[in-house]
Amino acid sequence: MRINSDLCTGCRLCVRHCPFDAIEVVDKLARFKDNCNSCGACIEVCKFQAITPDEVPGKSTGRAEEGPVTYAGIWVFAEQRQGRLAGVVLELLGVARELASQCNTEVTAVLLGQGVAGLASQLIACGADRVYLVEHQELASYRTEPYTYILSKLVQEYRPEILLLGATHIGRDLAPRLARRLNTGLTADCTGLAIDPEEKILLQTRPAFGGNLMATIACPHRRPQMATVRPGVIVKLEPDYTRKGEVIRHSYTIPPEVLRTTVLEIVQTTATTVNLEEAEIIIAGGRGLDGPEGFRELEKIAALLGATVGASRGAVEAGWIGREHQVGQTGKTVQPKLYIACGISGAIQHLAGMQRSGCIVAINTDASAPIFRVADYGIVGDVHQILPVLAREMQTLK
């Protein structure tokens, strides 16, 4: 960062807004301390435009070229927990490859952690041209501030055009902090990404107003263009372990003031989980089941089919089944090979979460229900009469 002494008035506005206490005023002139991490917060608040970022020299590993500030490349944050990549990372690499082909650019995965170098080959096989690897003992377990610090350093050094993160617990925590640090925009919980053919900017689609309409959002004036993407909305590419890519290691010293929290212990507990995103068959119920007893019937059929039980928002809010079973805009987005909708009318919020399923079977008494518009097979009838027949047929087939 640079301070123009001819423009600076020593007003101390930058001092008050610096999140790291990295600016001081001496003789009516602001100056940076050694702990400045070039986050850029001071640039925005300076009324006299006295603070500007330093230019970063270009290198062949993806940095912007010398001279005017330029941005290039699509980055994917390679979220991992205890040495295992999150499933959404592989989905993001797939869509990043599609976007990169339209922009004639490269895909880079950013991998942070400790002892995670072995994941780089998997990232390259799934679509990354390059992996930036940062290993540090303070990155072994996710913490907001050190991850934000390292990732912002990399972004400021290499200047990617687009940065994608998964809309997971970690991604939803990290992305807004990072966007503020980089002074750029962020579209959260996207269900679709595309490149504008004329302006070559990222078009980010997400549900709005409770899922009643889909909004397409663009960030034309700030870089990088950032988005978090919901797991399950993008089809993963098949890994190709013959792909070649480069792994570039980086080493950073994390200032003590960034490490304001400490992981004392990780307690692992055994719990019953519902992995709807990975299920190949889902049988889901809605308000047409008329109560929790209807879901008991679904569970019997699910056991015969080797399926997972899902539910509509209405059924969950009625207390008939746990929220972890919810499919839809405010629940899980799924793409099973077979989706059986029992007593679900098909509100737009629910359709947004399951309409990309391989085969959809709908059972509903209302022949005009929206669910039939996306169904491959439709049965108009009482779900309470049809489910016992279905159970008997499944039992016979077994």
Residue stretches of the annotated binding site for FAD: 287, 312-313, 326-330, 343-350, 364
CB 241 within 8 A of CB 121: yes
CB 336 within 8 A of CB 281: yes
> Residue 98: in which H helix or E strand, if any?
helix 87-103
Give 199-202 contacts, CB < 8 A, sequence gap 24+: 200/102, 200/103, 201/225, 202/99, 202/162, 202/227
Beta-bridge partners for 359: 338
Beta-bridge partners for 112: 134
Which amino acid is present at 143? R
With tokens 């397409």, the residue in question is 216
CB within 8 Å of 30: residues ≥ 6 apart: 3, 8, 10, 12, 14, 15, 23, 24, 50, 51
3-class SS of residue 126: coil
Q: What 3 state SS string does 152-199 have? A: HHHHHHHCCCEEEEECCHHHHHHHHHHHHHHCCCEEEEECEEEECCCC
Q: Phi/psi at 302 (nearest 5 deg)?
A: -60, -40
Nearest Cα residue to 235 out of 36, 26, 87, 23: 87
CB 109 within 8 A of CB 102: no
Nearest Cα residue to 141 out of 117, 179, 112: 112
- How far CA 292 is from CA of 29, 102, 104, 316, 340, in Å, comes to 69, 49, 53, 10, 18
Beta-bridge partners for 202: 195
The reply to whether omega before 160 is within 30° of 0 (cis) is: no
Q: How far apart are CA 101 and CA 84, in angstroms?
A: 28
Buried (b) or exposed (e) across 260-273, using 16+ Cβ within 10 A? eeeeeeeeeeeeee
Binding site as annotated, residues: 287, 312-313, 326-330, 343-350, 364
